[in-house]
Amino acid sequence: MRFAVILLCFTLIAGTLPVAANEPLSPEVVQVLERLVPRLEPQLRRRFEQAGVEYPPARLQLISLKQEQQIEVWAADAGPWRHIHDYQVLAASGVAGPKLREGDRQVPEGFYQIEALNPHSRFHLSIKLNFPNSFDWLNAHAEGRRQPGSNIFIHGSAWSVGCLAIGDQAVEELFLLVARSWQEPASVMILPYDFRRQAPQLPAAARPWVAELYSYLQQGVARFPLAAKAARCESGCGALASAGEAVLP
Confidence of residue 22 (pLDDT cuts 50, 70, 90): low
The predicted model gives 219-238 an average pLDDT of 82
Res 239: pLDDT: 53
CB atoms within 10 A of CB 76: 17
Total residues found in the chain within this entry: 249
Listed by start position, the domains of the chain span: 2-15+42-233
Question: Who wins on pLDDT, 46 or 7?
Answer: 46
Please give the residue that has the higher pLDDT: either 15 or 202. 202
Q: Give the architecture (CATH level 2) of 2-15+42-233.
A: Beta Barrel (2.40)
- The answer on pLDDT for 38 being more than 50 is yes
Q: Report the pLDDT value the prediction gives residue 235, as an integer from 0 to 100.
A: 57
3-state SS, residue 163: coil
The string over 113-141, giving b where at least 16 C-beta atoms fall within 10 Å of a residue's C-beta and e elsewhere, is bbbebbbebebbbbbbbbbbbebbebbbe
Catalytic residue positions, numbered: 155, 163
pLDDT higher than 90, residue 161: no
